[in-house]
A and B are shown apart, each in its own frame.
Chain A
Amino acid sequence: MSKFRKEGKKAAPGISTASLPDIVFMLLFFFMVTTVMREVSLKVKISPPKATEITKLQRKSLVAYIYIGSPTKQFIRQLGSEPRIQLDDAFARVDQIPEWVAKVKSETAEVEIPLLTYSLKVDKNTKMGIVTQVKQELRKAEALKINYSTLKGSEFKRK
């Protein structure tokens, strides 16, 4: 008579998945915190040029964006493919820029107005004509700190 009974074959316990939600929640919180919702929907196509001597823009709340590029497919029929300017959510003419700058400045605290950066997001195939006009308007509106938005990289092979 044996004291210990031989145990019969027992089904292996299933792997507990109770901690899976915790892991997923962790990822979820990470993405929730890092998410920046798109503030504008782009109406122009932009593929920025590449450059090497670039700096990161620090305070996102102090950056105002000007988009220049060909209209996207849904607008191309009405507007053609000539490069257009987009301010906030709408197409704009060059002469609307001073008004827009005034609006941006009025939405910023007075002490922070000199820190405002105007970031030009321009498609690389745009001609300089329109960009120069925009720059002239910015000068007139005393919006002097600008940033040419570029990606990191090199456009050509160095000899």
Chain B
Amino acid sequence: MSNEINAGSMADIAFLLLIFFLVTTTMDVDTGIIRQLPPIPPPDMPPPPDVNKRNVFVVLVNANDQLLVEDQLSDISVLRTQAKEFIKGYPDQPDNISFPAFENEEIPFFGTRPVSKQIISLQNDNGTSYNMYIQVQNELAAAYNELRDELAKEKFGKSYDELANSKTEADKAAAIKKIYPARISEAEPKETGQGQKSTTP
């Protein structure tokens, strides 16, 4: 006959607590696309100088979630390729006006190098679905990321993320970022198409 305390029910109690925490746990990590909004310009600020039209890659999204890229009907599945081609441009063809102009800049690790003056202008309608908007943002971000990655692999033999996350080589990532700076400008939305007027709740 043993005189131990019966610990059999201890497990039951612990299980009960365990199930309570299992149910209440939310393990979601919030992920998303981080963007910086432009500050509202002060009223006395002069209007920004006009940008040369050839430097701007215009992406329009209408209320039916259709894409118009550089005045041509396009599709979300090819947007990334189009954006990449535009951002990269052709430094050896300065007269090709469908691609951005270049300017020689001094970049660490790369020396003097032509840097494209590209800007991506994104304009959406009030009736565009949020899903479509995120897809377009995502494709444009992907275009920049892929170009940076390609350049990082070619020059340093490492991916851009690897460079950016390492403590010693972050300056290399910064140099690549200087060559392909992400310039996505969002125009104030226009009320076009069958865009439903959004109601203020």
Q: How does the 8 Å CB contact mask read for B3-38 relative to A, with 1 for contact and 0 for none? A: 000011011001101100110111101111111111
Which 9 A-B pairs have CB atoms at the shortest separation, nearest pair first? A129-B198, A129-B126, A124-B131, A31-B21, A24-B14, A21-B10, A51-B138, A53-B141, A149-B32
Q: Once the chains bind, are B38 and A139 in contact (CB under 8 Å)? A: yes
| Residue among A38, A53, A149 having the largest count of chain B Cβ atoms under 10 Å | A53
**CB contact under 8 A between A55 and B32, given known A21-B11, A28-B14, A156-B76:** yes
B124 touches A128 (CB 8 A): yes
How many interface residues does A have (CB within 8 Å)? Answer: 68
A145 within 8 A of B: yes
Choose the segment among B88-96, B108-116, B189-197 that binds chain A (4+ C-beta atoms closer than 8 Å).
Answer: B189-197
* Sample of 20 A–B contacts (CB below 8 Å): A20-B11, A21-B7, A24-B11, A28-B18, A28-B21, A31-B22, A31-B25, A36-B27, A51-B32, A51-B137, A55-B32, A56-B30, A125-B130, A131-B133, A133-B198, A135-B37, A139-B39, A146-B37, A152-B31, A159-B78
CB <8 Å contact, A49 and B36: no
Chain B facing A: main interface SS:
mixed
CB closest chain-A residue, reference B191 = A129
Of B15, B78, B125, B135, which is within 8 A of A24 by CB?
A: B15
- Interface residues of A, dominant DSSP: mixed
Which chain A residues lie closer than 8 Å to B26 at the CB level?
Answer: 35-38
Is B40 located at the chain interface by the 8 A CB criterion?
yes
Interface string of B157-183 (1 = CB under 8 A from A): 000000000000000000000000000
The answer to the question of A119 belonging to the interface, with a C-beta cut-off of 8 Å to chain B, is yes
A63 to B128, CA, bound (A): 27
